[in-house]
Every structure is written in structure tokens, then in C-alpha cells.
Amino acid sequence: MKNSRPILWLIIGVLLLLVLVVSGLRVGSYSTSYSFIFNTFRHYDPTEPAQLALVELRLPRIVLALLAGASLAVSGYLLQTLVTNPLADPYLLGTASGASLGAIMSFVLVPSLTVAGVYLPPVAALVGAFAATLVVVALGTRRGKILPAPLLLAGVAVGALAAAIGSLLTFLASSEGNLRSIVFWAFGSFERASWGVLPYPAAVLGVSLFLLAFLQKDLNLLLLGEERAAALGLPVAQRRWLLVLLAAGLTGGVVALCGPVGFVGLLVPHLTRGLLGTTGRYNLVVCALLGGCFLLACDLLARVLYPPAGLPVGLVTALFGVPFFVYLLRKNN
């Protein structure tokens, strides 16, 4: 019975995902029926405005929410394993703050938002994400080893600095259009979803899960502590560097497209371990699936509460994440 639990939760997660996808396709500026959705995918006609909106607007938004939720959940799982701290999440390394700063700089410093035909904010966000992560890792490394406590403190400091600079640039924004873009970015949203951008987060998530499939045993050893893991033959320093890079890539890619969406990487890994245990072999897959379902549900709730545009999804995740964070603080003293 114990061995069948992961399969059971995988099936439940897939069924929940299907329900959320269909519900997301129905909700928007106008409601659609189940028969219309079925007929659209059976006989798609791009000249029909309603079908075009369903396939080119709603469906990419749903896929992006799924990829973003899965990426942030896996990133949070890796970071909680890396620093053996239940309060760790993808924002621990200042990655999201660095990505946000990069995007804000592009909004303020490049009014056209385009350089050589390339839309600049996502590129700047990725650069900011990796730059912030590298600075944090450099500050948290001693003699070639990544130390959890200095890494955590460096992440807080770099994240605060990036947030402060971003706030200053927002204050100095000269045009109302730039200011709106910055505010819209800061709340987190899937409005920029399109089929053209989806392969990038999908590739990062796919490669990360593929690599981590061979590292499940190493992740479990890291939970024992650095000394015991090293005594059992694990190259701790190399594994921690790999986890940091994977977590930074997953988080930076999401923030580059969606803006900072908080608390997914904090809440979902705890939910996964509560359902499957700490060292389950299917934990990462279930974590990714539940992360996608959670963010899909939050986006759906955001559109239901404030139709037709919907609330920024970052506000909805905070409604769930902040009480859970307080619960963890009290539980862990």
C-alpha cells in the first residue's frame, strides 16, 4: 500500500490538472461551453475569433502557468534540500529579485524595449537572475564549498539590495507607460504568454527533471548533513553547485516571463513531502505536478475574482503563502 501511494497521487494530480485546464479554457472575457472547447480542438478554424482566442490566448496562458508552477516548485524543493531549511524557497538566492531588477532596468533605460529586434525585458531578467545568483554563491562559498548559512544570509542581503535599486528606478521612471509596465511586472502575470516563448521554460524544466532523475539518491544523502553525506562518498561541493545552478535557471526563466510569483516554491515542496515522505523516489515528479496545479488554480481564481482581466497572480499566491509561512515559523520556532 505504501509503494502505491506515489502512483495514486500521480493519478490524482493528473486528473486535477485536466480539470483545471478545462476550467481555465472556459473562463475569460467570455464563457465557453465544453462542447465548444471539444469542437475547437477537433475542427480548429483560425478564422473564427472565438476559436482563435481559445487556442492562441487562453491555452498558452494555461501552459505557461503550468510550467511556471512546476519550475518554482522544483526549485524550492532543491533549495530546501540544499540548505536543509524548511523556510527556503526560490527567492532565497536573490534570483527573483535580480531578475526583477534586470527587467525594471530594461523598462526604464530602454523606452523602446527592443534592441536589434529582440524584446529586451525577458533577456535582461535572465541576466539579472544569474548575476544575482553568482554574487550570492560567491559570498556563500568558503574554500570551494557552499555553506548553507552564509548562502542564506547573502541571498537575503543581495535580494534586499536588488529590491531597493528596483524601487529607486521605479520612483525615477519618467513616463507613465514605463511605470505601468514595472508595476504590472512586479505583481506577476501570465499575460505575455504565447506559443513562441513556451519552448524555453519547457526545455529548462525538462532538462532539470531529466538530470535530477539520476540524482534522487544524492538529494536524500544531502538531507543527512554535509559531513555524513561526504562520509558516504557524495561529492558534496559539486552537487551543491549543480543544485544552485538548476534552481537559478528554473527560477530565472519563470521570472523572466511571468514576473516574481512568490510562495509556490515554499508551499508545494512541503505539501509533497507531507503526502509522500521526505525521501520518496517520485517526489520531484509529484512536486512539479502539484506546483503546476497550484499555480493554475491561483490563476483561475484570479480571473474569477476580477473578470475579465483577472487579478495579478502574485497577489493570489500571497494569500495562500503568507499564512503558510507564518504556520512554518510557529511550527519550527
pLDDT tens digits along 25-38: 988 777 788 888 98
pLDDT at 311 over 90: no
pLDDT at 84 over 80: no
Which range among 169-183, 254-268, 279-293 has the greatest average pLDDT? 279-293
Of residues 203 and 330, the one with the higher pLDDT is 203
pLDDT at 67 over 90: yes
Which range among 39-43, 60-64, 149-153 has the greatest average pLDDT? 60-64
Q: How confident is the model at residue 4 (pLDDT cuts 50, 70, 90)?
A: confident
Q: How confident is the model at residue 332 (pLDDT cuts 50, 70, 90)?
A: low
Q: How confident is the model at residue 277 (pLDDT cuts 50, 70, 90)?
A: confident
pLDDT, mean of residues 71-78: 93
CB contact at 8 A, 123 and 90: no
Q: For residue 308, say if its preceding peptide bond is cis, omega within 30 degrees of 0.
A: yes
Sequence-distant (6+) residues with CB within 8 A of 91 are 97, 155, 159, 251, 260, 262, 265
pLDDT, mean of residues 262-275: 90
DSSP state at residue 45: -
pLDDT at 333 over 70: no
Model confidence pLDDT, tens digit, residues 16-27: 999 999 999 988
Q: What's the mean pLDDT when you consider all of the chain?
A: 85
pLDDT at 76 over 70: yes
Residue type present at position 75: S
Model confidence pLDDT, tens digit, residues 119-154: 777 788 888 888 898 898 888 888 767 777 788 889
Q: Quick one: pLDDT at residue 321?
A: 85
Q: Quick one: pLDDT at residue 2?
A: 55
pLDDT, mean of residues 308-326: 84
In percent, the amount of the chain with pLDDT more than 90 equals: 25
pLDDT, mean of residues 255-262: 84
pLDDT at 165 over 90: yes
Packing angle, helices 199-213 and 283-305, rounded to 10? 150
**Alpha helices, H only, the chain:** 5-26, 34-42, 49-53, 59-83, 95-109, 120-139, 148-172, 176-187, 199-213, 216-222, 226-231, 236-258, 264-276, 283-305, 313-331
Which range among 144-148, 307-311, 324-328 has the greatest average pLDDT? 324-328
Q: How confident is the model at residue 231 (pLDDT cuts 50, 70, 90)?
A: confident
In percent, the amount of the chain with pLDDT more than 70 equals: 96
Sequence-distant (6+) residues with CB within 8 A of 206 are none
pLDDT at 117 over 90: no
141-142 and 114-115 strand pairing: unpaired
> Locate cell 486528473: which residue?
15
CB contact at 8 A, 272 and 86: no
Q: Quick one: pLDDT at residue 174?
A: 67
